[in-house]
Amino acid sequence: MIIFTKLHGNANDFILVDEYDQEIIPESRKSTFTERFCARRFGVGADGVLFLSRSKHANLRMRIFNPDGSEPEMCGNGIRCVVKYAIDAGYVRLGKVIVETIAGDIGIEARKDTSNRVWIKADMGAPRFEFFEKKLEGRKVSAVNTGVPHAVIFVDDLGAPIAQVAPKIRHHSIFPEGANVNFVKVGKNALEIRTYERGVEAETLSCGTGAAASAAVANKLGKVGDIVNVKTKGGMLHASLKNDHVFLEGTAEAVYEGIIRSF
């Protein structure tokens, strides 16, 4: 019997398995578990599975697996879900939290607003810029890594058929590990984005590392300032740039708990 919690950050939804005290899903089966239960019509349905465990040096350790069974380095919305769950479970308190990920240790600040809602701000680190506005597949593409690799494309209209356009860039040889592909419309110190995610192999309603990547590139190109609202299909995220780091703030919600009786 496997107990899980369903959470989402801006409608980017996850199954969380709590391995804080003991391993629940054997290492050799984590990918298979994820592939099976992320399926929306044959499983629980999710954009990924989060595994929360203890860290030898940080407050928490997070691992994430994509629906195709692959393990990315980081997830901007997922890390908020992990911290939200850990606060509710009493593993950590509001304030400063350090989360160990494959991409490195991520500094978190968690607070409650006047409505008692938890807001989680993550230090996404210094973005690693690869190139700016290089022509790929007939579009100007910028590349940056904010924990995972991203392609950023600025557009005037977000109505492009992403499912047709994005895969060619996601699989382009210039990205040896593949890349998430972000289509970005610029407003006044605001961005609106749609993201096609590798591993999900589809558009998701929000991508935290994609929001950070888009804000970083837009700022570098002088399209926005240091404080940026990023609108995704799933809601609003707040990005800020300071000392070459990108900070991303948003909420996370626990939706329900469930039991998987056999696997």
Whose CA is closest to 182, among 200, 199, 203, 168?
203
* Known catalytic residue at 207: yes
Phi first, then psi: give them for residue 215, nearest 5 degrees.
Answer: -65, -40
Among 188, 176, 100, which residue's Cα sits nearest to residue 145? 176
Number of H helices, E strands in the chain: 4, 17
Catalytic-role residue among 99, 207, 215, 239 = 207
- The burial class, CB within 10 Å (0-12 / 13-18 / 19+), for 192 is middle
* Bridge pairing between strands 60-65 and 95-101: parallel
Q: Is 81 assigned a catalytic role?
A: no
Helix or strand or coil: residue 161?
Answer: coil
Catalytic residue among 75, 82, 108, 136: 75
Q: Which of the residues are catalytic? A: 75, 207
